[in-house]
Chains A and B, each alone.
Chain A
Amino acid sequence: MSVAVATDDRSPLTEGRSTSHGFEEFRYDDAIVRAFATVTLVWGLVAMLVGLIVAHQLTVPALNFGLDFTAFGRLRPLHTNAAIFAFAGNAVFAAVYYSTQRLCKARMWSDALSWLHFWGWQLIIVLAAVTLPLGITQSKEYAELEWPIDLLIAVVWVGFFGVNFFMTLATRRERHLYVALWFYIATIVTVALLHVFNNLVVPVGLLKSYPIYAGVQDAFMQWWYGHNAVAFFLTTPFLGLMYYFLPKAANRPVYSYRLSIIHFWSIVFIYIWAGPHHLHYTAIPEWCSTLGMLFSVMLWMPSWGGMINGLLTLRGAWRSVTADPVLKFFVVGITFYGMATFEGPLLSVKSVNALSHYTDWTIAHVHSGALGWNGMMTFGMLYWLLPRIYQTKLWSQRLAEWHFWVGTIGILLYIVPIYVAGLTQGLMWRAIDARGQLMYPDFVETVRVLAPLYWLRIGGGLLFFVGTGMLGVNFLMTWLSRPKTYEDPVYSAPVLSRDFVDPPMPQSKLDGVLDVAKKLDVWETFHWHRRWERLPIRFTVWVAIAVVVASLFEMIPTFLIRSNVPTIASVKPYTPLELAGRDLYIANGCYNCHSQMIRPILAETKRYGEFSKPGEFVYDHPFQWGSRRIGPDLAREGGRQSSLWHVVHFRNPTQLIPGSIMPAYPSFEQTELNFKSIQDRVNAAAFLGAPYGEELTRAEEMAKEQAAEIAAEIEKQQGPSGLGDKQVVALVAYLQRLGVDLMTPATPPASEQSAVTQPLAMDR
């Protein structure tokens, strides 16, 4: 469908043609909007379908059909990336291309760049859909894609989308930049910054890389990115969408334009600080964690300001809401924005986070935002756009109504059981009996109890998917009833005068005071801000400064002050075989279910052992702290079980742990380990600071020697023979290394002995 639309001949023949009285004629490019709207629907259905599959796998793990490609750890990133960058991303682009042209009274600056952007973005999505199931991943949540795709993203985002957008602003015919455009500016600038700095890596090959950051710093960088991806990919552009499409649909201006200005700057100033709340009680510095919490709590203020502004736009028009499905979607979407942005700060409060983190509560929160806010706003926009971009009536208003109700019930049926699951799991993990022991020491007990809730979640997800299918039918039928050729109306608007003279600077009304006071009085009139609002480049620079200053406040101390990451003498780099095992752990997405971060909380140290120290992760490129415990934490897994136990557990987890929902990985025993690539991996790790010696010249041989030792050990434990060249030995080597360095006696040089933290005894 999109191809047909894309090739529709609508060349901007009249773009910029002058008419009398200083007016210029132009046409809007709706073909690009039609294309982005179409792929929004298509990728939305794909994202939701993959979501349904992974949700099923948590109840029936065998639904990966024994294939590594379809296991939860590989499909879950596909689901999140598809939902964020394919579904929400394309919706944002549809909104930006439609509204920017109208708000600027200008066609997009370059049709060629518009289409390069469209096809470039779809190529990125297809590459993601291919590489993630193949296990080609950086393992950083929502930034999993490997470096060649990251480069492509930078080119498409900045070179095609960014240039086209900013040049459209530069050639606009409306002097004031409406607030929706401010949100788009913030989105484009900040996402570019986040993407570039979180994806600085050292390539090991075409399909593998190690981030330049390690451990604490990598975690900090990732959640600076991860949190702000939510802020500047899923919030600011959707707020821009709300500020444009809601007044359009309600046919009335936004309730308070003043409030929208406060909303914008507050969001831009505050959001960027809040990332560390994803890392409470982990090994990041305490001050940083507190700062993240404080700013997260402050987010309540602008978020609710925005929500109230949206809902009050409908004052006196609530009757229309009962009749118009578009407004219904918007009202529910904005309400979910308010709910999710109430809950987000709540979850950032340390004591709440101690309970919620690693549980399904976070998943419920995320889906409340993604389905409720992003989903419903997207659907509302699409239903409003369909008759306009296809120049016909919406095929079925009634089906849109059905979609609304089915979708809304679907969201509730999804999130309510998952909130219950999150609270249940969090409370079970921390429950301690009268003797001071864990009430549920067996982790799998806390998983089995969730099964009925997981089934209910599937029901909710299915309803939401069916609702989107209804949109698909409506979309298709509306498209089928489009006119043979689209009308391409010509608009006209006065040209912006190049020699625009700013209104005279206001004069101070103060008398009998110092000149400084008069200047301050004039400055306080904010005539300079009104000037920025007409000057997109200057405006953009200030947005970038707001974002960068906030980021640097947290990053410079975290990165420069050594005391934030005390070294531990006994912590050594991974052996070549362990490094290869670690890369397999990453490729299979184990971080999606297992954390490697024991928080200093009694129930956690009782369950998993000594809490994690920042110095334990200095060779972890990338960090593997995870964000969810579908399975237990593995930070101190080394030495807990025999090597044979791990082999059998990979082959069939339920044989050892009845009720386990981990997928089986029999292929690890059958697939040969690529020893040849190990030297490159070691060299890259050495380049990043790992103090290797002999490994720099004979990593492959050393890996084979260690593999042979582990294989012999497994055989000695009555396990299978001949595993020395199989992937499983590398994984076992890695798992047996996790967390043991802290207990290993260290013999640092005498000169360094006073400067290092001595290893701590572990209470196992």
Chain B
Amino acid sequence: MLQDMLLQFDPARCAEIALVVFIAAFAMIVWRAAGERRSTIDEQASLPLNDGQKE
């Protein structure tokens, strides 16, 4: 059965499926990044500037 499935499968479809997967993922990422609160983003962005409190 697996052999039949593979014989029927057109590998060129991989390219199309891959593109759809990527676009969906990309849309999610943009949505996630855009939806973050400004204050949270600013706080996260400033992390490199704070090495911790020196005693």
Q: State the A residues within 8 Å of B (CB).
A: 23, 25-26, 28, 99, 102-103, 105, 173-174, 176, 178-180, 243-244, 247-248, 251-254, 257-262, 265-266, 269-270, 273, 285-288, 290-291, 294-295, 298, 489-493, 524-526, 529-530, 546, 549-550, 553-554, 557-558, 560-561, 564
Contact = CB atoms under 8 A, between A and B. Distances in A.
Contact of B26 (A247, A266, A491): A266
Interface string B27-55: 01111111110000111111111011111
Contacts of A173: 52
A557 B12 CA distance: 9
Contacts of A270: 22
A605 to B, nearest CB: 25
Contacts of B51: 28, 102, 105, 491
B45 A254 contact: yes
B23 to A, nearest CB: 10
A545 B21 CA distance: 13
B55 A491 contact: yes
Given A491-B52, A492-B52, A178 B29 contact: no
For the complex of A and B, the 7 pairs showing the least CB-CB separation, nearest first, are A257-B45, A287-B12, A491-B52, A253-B45, A526-B32, A557-B11, A291-B15
B15 A253 contact: no
A287 B36 CA distance: 38
B47 A490 contact: no
A723 B28 CA distance: 67
B14 interface: yes
A102 B54 CA distance: 12
Contacts of A273: 18, 22
Given A23-B53, A244-B48, A557-B14, 8 more contacts: A26-B52, A103-B47, A266-B29, A269-B22, A273-B18, A491-B55, A492-B53, A561-B9
Contact of A258 (B25, B33, B47, B54): B33
B11 A561 contact: yes
A557 B41 contact: no
Contact of B55 (A25, A28, A174): A25
A247 B53 contact: no
Contact of B49 (A26, A253, A286): A253
Given A262-B30, A524-B31, A178 B15 contact: no
B14 A553 contact: yes
B48 A261 contact: no
Contact of B31 (A28, A99, A288, A526): A526
B1 interface: no
A269 B11 contact: no
Nearest to A270: B22
B9 A557 contact: yes
A287 B14 contact: yes
Contacts of A295: 18, 22
Contacts of A260: 45
**Interface residue tally on B, bucketed by range:** 35 or more
B18 to A, nearest CB: 5
A258 B39 CA distance: 12
Given A285-B11, A287-B12, A261 B6 contact: no
A26 B54 CA distance: 10
Given A266-B29, A294-B19, A491-B54, A258 B49 contact: no
A251 B46 CA distance: 10
B48 A248 contact: yes
22 contacts: A103-B47, A174-B47, A176-B43, A176-B47, A180-B48, A244-B48, A248-B49, A257-B42, A258-B33, A258-B34, A259-B33, A261-B36, A269-B22, A269-B26, A286-B12, A290-B15, A489-B54, A490-B55, A492-B52, A526-B28, A526-B31, A561-B6
Contact of B29 (A261, A491, A549): A261
Contacts of A23: 53
A303 to B, nearest CB: 14
Contact of B25 (A180, A254, A269): A269
Contact of B15 (A244, A262, A294, A298): A294
Contacts of B12: 286-287
Contacts of B34: 258
B29 A265 contact: yes
Contacts of B43: 176
A287 B53 contact: no
- Which of A178, A253, A270, A491 gathers most chain B CB within 10 Å? A253
Contacts of B6: 560-561
B45 A261 contact: no
B55 A262 contact: no
A265 B52 contact: no
Contacts of A251: 49
A538 to B, nearest CB: 15
Nearest to B40: A530
Contacts of B21: 549, 553
B15 A287 contact: yes
B51 to A, nearest CB: 5
B18 A550 contact: yes
Nearest to A179: B44
- Which of B25, B44, B53 gathers most chain A CB within 10 Å? B44
B29 to A, nearest CB: 4
Contact of B42 (A253, A287, A493, A561): A253
A286 B10 CA distance: 12
A554 B45 contact: no
Contacts of B41: 257-258
A295 B29 CA distance: 17
Contact of B33 (A25, A174, A262, A525): A262
Contacts of B36: 258, 261, 526, 530
A327 B22 CA distance: 35
Contacts of B26: 265-266, 269
A266 B33 CA distance: 12
A262 B53 contact: no
- Which of B14, B15, B36, B46 gathers most chain A CB within 10 Å? B15
A291 B55 contact: no
A102 B18 contact: no
Nearest to B29: A265
A105 B49 contact: no
B33 to A, nearest CB: 4
